[in-house]
Copies of this chain bind each other. A is one copy, B any other.
Amino acid sequence: MKGESIEKLSDYGVLGFIKINLRGVAQVMFQPSAWTGLLFLVGIFWGAYATDDAPIAWGALLGLVISTITAFILNLSTDDASQGLWGFNGVLVGCAFPAFFDSSIAMWLSLVLCAAFTTWLRVGLNRIMQSWRVNSFTFPFVLATWIGLLSAHAMQSLRPIHHSQIITHHSHHIQAGMDNFWELVQAWLNGISQVFLIESWVTGAFFLVGLAVCSRWAALWAAIGSALSMCIAALMNVPTSHIAEGLYSFSAVLTAIALATVFYQPSWRSAAWSILGIVVTVFVQAAMNAWMLPYSIATLTAPFCVTTWLFLLPNIKLNR
C-alpha cells in the first residue's frame, strides 16, 4: 500500500505537488485554483511577518504539506487530492497552533499530529454527513484544534501565548478602533484576513484579489459578508474592538461565499438567503463566543460550519 501511495504521489511531480498544495490553501474559501492559493499564501506570509508572528506563516506551510501527504500515505481519493481538498484543514491548523501557542518542540509536534489528524477526520465526518448531503467544511480543523487548545489546560508543554484570554489572542497588537473611514476599511479587511487567523488589512486585500482571480462572485460576497456582519454586530452592540479586529466577520465571510456562490447559483433569491445566513452567523458567533468563554478558547470557524449546515440541511429550493 505504502509503495502504491508513493507512486501516486510521484505521479504528480514536484510542480504538480506544489499545485495541489496551493489549491489546498485556496480551498479554505472554496476556490480550486492554484493562483488563488498563491495569492492567499503571499497574504499569509505578509500578515504573519507584519504582525511579528512569523511562525504562523511557516506553520501554515507545514500543516498544509503534512495533511496533504497524509492523504497519500492513507491511500485516500486522488480526485480530492487534485482539487486541493486534503490541504485546507491542515493549513488552518498550521495557522492556529502558532497563533495560540508559544513556539516549542511540543507545539510543533502537536501541530504535525493535528494537521495529519484532520485528513482522516475529514473522511470520517464526511461519511456521516454525506447521507444528509452536506459536507464537513472546515470542521475537521475546528475539532482537531479545539482538542489541542483544550488539552493545553492540562498539558503544560503547550504554552498559550496569552494564558488568560486565548479567545482574543489578536488583541496583543495595537488596540484596533473604528473612529474614521480608514479604520472602518481596515476592520472590513481584517474580517477577511481573520479567516486564516491573521489580523492585517493588507492580507485581507490579498485574499480579495486572490478570490477575484478565480471567481468575482466569491470576491463580491466575501466583501459583502464582512461588511454586513460588521453592521449587524455593531447594531447588536458587541464590543467594538472585536468588530475592529474582524472577529465577527471571518465566519460570515465563509458563510456568504458558501451560500451565495458555491451551493446556490447567484440570483436575487439566493442573495436574500445568503444575507439571512450572514445575519444568523453573527448571532451564532456571539453565542459560541459565550459558550467557549469558560474555557477561554476560540470558536475558530465553527460558526460558519454550523450556520451553513443549518441553511443547507433543509434543502430549500430557491431557483426553479
- Measured CB to CB, the residues of A under 8 A from B are 1, 74-75, 106, 110, 113, 117, 120-121, 123-125, 127-128, 131-132, 146-158, 233, 235-239, 242, 269, 279-280, 283-284, 286-291, 293-295, 309-318, 320
Contacts and interface: CB of A to CB of B under 8 A. Distances in A.
A239 B280 CA distance: 37
A120 to B, nearest CB: 4
Given A128-B313, A147-B283, A151-B287, 9 more contacts: A1-B318, A113-B280, A121-B314, A148-B287, A151-B284, A152-B290, A154-B238, A156-B236, A158-B236
Nearest to A290: B153
A311 to B, nearest CB: 7
B151 A283 contact: yes
A147 B284 contact: yes
Given A127-B314, A127-B315, A158-B236, A150 B287 contact: yes
Per DSSP, chain A at the interface is helix
A117 B280 contact: yes
Contacts of A117: 280
Nearest to A123: B314
A132 B123 contact: no
Copies of this protein, total: 3
Contact of A148 (B132, B151, B283): B283
A65 to B, nearest CB: 18
A48 B131 CA distance: 44
Nearest to A133: B127
A40 to B, nearest CB: 27
A149 to B, nearest CB: 8
A309 B309 CA distance: 22
Contact of A286 (B120, B132, B153, B242): B153
A299 to B, nearest CB: 11
A235 B106 contact: yes
Contact of A155 (B155, B236, B280, B310): B236
Contacts of A284: 147, 151
A154 B286 contact: yes
A310 B127 CA distance: 11
A93 B44 CA distance: 42
Nearest to A239: B154
A36 B131 CA distance: 38
Contacts of A316: 74, 120, 123
Contacts of A310: 120-121, 124
A222 to B, nearest CB: 23
Contacts of A148: 283, 287
List 5 tightest A-B contacts by C-beta distance, closest first: A124-B313, A151-B286, A153-B290, A150-B287, A123-B314
A245 to B, nearest CB: 14
30 contacts: A1-B269, A74-B314, A74-B316, A106-B236, A110-B283, A113-B279, A113-B280, A117-B280, A120-B314, A120-B316, A123-B313, A124-B312, A125-B313, A127-B314, A127-B315, A131-B131, A147-B283, A147-B284, A147-B287, A150-B288, A151-B286, A153-B286, A153-B289, A153-B290, A155-B233, A155-B236, A155-B237, A155-B238, A157-B237, A294-B295
